[in-house]
A and B are shown apart, each in its own frame.
Chain A
Amino acid sequence: MVRLDGVTKTYPLGREKMVTAVQDVDLNVARGEFLVITGRSGAGKTTLLNLVAGLTRPTHGRIVWGDMDLWRMPDAQRSRLRSRRLGFVFQFASLLPSLTVAENVVLPTAFGSHRREPAVYERAGELLRMVGLADRRDAYPRQLSAGQQQRVVIARSLVNDPEMLLADEPTSNLDAETEREMMALFTEIHATRGVTVLMVTHAPQLVPACARLVEMADGAICARGAA
């Protein structure tokens, strides 16, 4: 589905120093798989996720989606790819504070020319029911707990029927019980919708048994295996 060939990412730290976040990584993500990336802080996991999504340009190497080199596309096409094929769950609170829960869920439909019809709000309702927040659709993010906000983010990530879900430490700010619930939700989504999941997590013990594990250290992949 997506392939990384010899991808390296360096970026400047201050004026003179260059940091290598990802070093010569080769990775293949197959359609429908649940791929988990683990490693210590600073290992390059988030950067790897950003590279897969086309959110940052690799210094060397190629990222190929299907048969398209991600960085030979114009920016608008990359944005469309993200909008149509990807869903995101970030580590930080990523809901827009000025929008209601329902408006946040349908936000991805504002970009590009698809899904402008009123049915998007119905779809948002279904997704909010799925994550157990149907009764909070008119609330604002500040009125929700951290766990509730992440559930809204999960609903948002699915509104465009994405092929791949990218989750960057989605449960790191949650308590243990909520973390278990969240991971169970991801497992369910992967199993029932056939969505490819690419997840960075500190809790690989909670991922489904079918997941493939990749461990990173110092910007490189140092181990691969099953969950």
Chain B
Amino acid sequence: MTLFRLAWKNVVGSAFRSWVVYLCVLLVTGLLFTSVLLIGGTRDSLRLIQQRLGADVVVVPEGTEAGVESALLMGRPVKAWMPRENEDKIAHVPGVREVSPQLYLASLANAPCCTAEMLVMAFDPQTDFTLTPWLRQHLGHGLSAGEAIGGSDVFVPYGEEHLRIYGSEIDLVGSLERTGTGLDTALFLTFETAYQVAEHSRTEAIRPLEIPPESISAALVRIEPEADPRVIALQISHEVTKVTAIPASGLFQTFRRQIDGLLRSMLTLLGAASALSLAIVGLVFSMAVNERRREIGVVRALGATQGEVLRTLLAEALMLALGGGASGILLAALVLYLFRDLIVVSLAMPFLFPALPLLVALVGGGLVAGLAGVGLAVLFPVVRASRLDPAVAMREQ
């Protein structure tokens, strides 16, 4: 018989009290973990997108910022066109090192792979610095005409060998890593392939793919190392008419504000739930200790020191905290992992489930938080119980 075993038997022996504490801790740690994963997952996703773009400044037609952000984040096709000559104008702005144009197109709805229009992004392989490094690393070469790479969720329908876009057959030669955003359902091909598809679509597709001549949807800009992206962006906006230049750090501002609003609400809810749950835990333990005064008196009479009584009672609380905390975290992680796609689609926010090392750290942190919270909640009643005069305690009915 040890103090640990005594604590365990006390936990198991009082089912109702143990369940109440267990469920309170499960709720708090589950909510806490969910919030941390959602906040972290969204921010990770945004960071990945920015890294994927590789650009210091993104130049888009005036008035299309929201649409382009939506395209990048949620994979929703956008109509954004500006003259191709802007590419040269931007290149001549002092401090600009590289410029790469992109076309944002939409596939047809009800394509076999998809339930809605899919974003198709075309890039210029001569100037591209976004996808070309990935292509070199993973395929060893660039894309040829008629080839494309897809986001992690793009696939060739079962039984077929090619993707069909506007009646043209496209070879899917690679898949990008998951970003937790709409880019996971986007298709990436070269300008040459895009123009070929547009040409073919006049006769092969239900509806032709229209690409305005000498037009681009966006220009991705890399600047000199010592230049300030915000300054360059301002200069571009001055020197090129009817465009908006967004420094990379300024991307997705609207979205970030929405996320911050959502997260503030979540944190408020979390704070309230935590305070309530820990108050309940403290109250339940207070009541339990009160009911067990005589038992505590007996245990002191049998030779337990104040410290041993304190340790036993704390051990009971912390066992329940550990059990409830682990369950809450496991449940939260399971739900977020299984429903990660639904989160992205229904909340319209990017979300990336963390990699294993970070997940382990978060789990550890969550458990520590649960243990600390419960320890604090029960400290007062438990210390008071350990200091009871044994004779007085045994006199209580």
Contact = CB atoms under 8 A, between A and B. Distances in A.
Check whether chain A touches chain B (CB < 8 angstroms): yes
Interface residues of B, number: 29
A7 to B, nearest CB: 14
B301 interface: yes
Contact of B301 (A53, A97, A103, A112): A53
A98 B13 contact: yes
Contact of A88 (B3, B302, B305): B302
Contact of B306 (A47, A56, A75, A109): A75
Given A75-B305, A90-B394, A55 B6 contact: no
B308 to A, nearest CB: 6
A56 B298 CA distance: 13
B10 A98 contact: yes
Contacts of B392: 56
Contacts of A109: 1
Contact of B2 (A86, A90, A110): A110
A96 B9 CA distance: 10
Contacts of A111: 299, 302-305, 308
Interface of B: 1-3, 5-6, 9-10, 12-14, 294-295, 297-308, 389-392, 394
The 5 closest A-B pairs by CB, nearest first: A83-B303, A98-B13, A56-B391, A50-B391, A111-B303
Given A94-B298, A98-B10, A79 B305 contact: yes
Contacts of B301: 53, 55, 82, 88, 90
B3 A110 contact: yes
A63 to B, nearest CB: 13
Interface in A74-112: 75-76, 79-80, 82-84, 86, 88, 90, 92, 94, 96-99, 103, 106-112
Question: Contact size class for A?
Answer: 20 to 34
A26 B86 CA distance: 108
A46 to B, nearest CB: 8
Contacts of B12: 98
Nearest to A112: B303
A116 interface: yes
13 contacts: A47-B391, A55-B297, A55-B301, A56-B390, A57-B389, A86-B303, A88-B302, A96-B295, A96-B298, A97-B13, A110-B6, A110-B308, A111-B302
A76 B302 contact: no
Given A98-B14, A107-B299, A107-B302, 17 more contacts: A50-B390, A55-B390, A56-B391, A56-B392, A75-B305, A79-B304, A84-B303, A88-B298, A92-B294, A96-B6, A96-B295, A98-B12, A109-B1, A110-B2, A110-B308, A111-B305, A120-B1
Contacts of A57: 389
A109 B1 CA distance: 7
Contact of B300 (A79, A106, A116, A160): A79
Nearest to A104: B1
Contact of B391 (A55, A75, A94): A55
A83 B302 contact: yes
Contacts of B5: 103, 110
A89 to B, nearest CB: 11
A99 B300 contact: no
Contact of B1 (A47, A88, A107): A107
Interface string A43-63: 000010010010111000000
A13 to B, nearest CB: 12
Nearest to B295: A96
A107 B306 contact: no
A56 B389 contact: yes
A96 B298 CA distance: 9
A110 B1 contact: yes
B298 A90 contact: yes
A80 B2 CA distance: 16
A61 to B, nearest CB: 16
Nearest to B13: A98
A120 B2 CA distance: 12
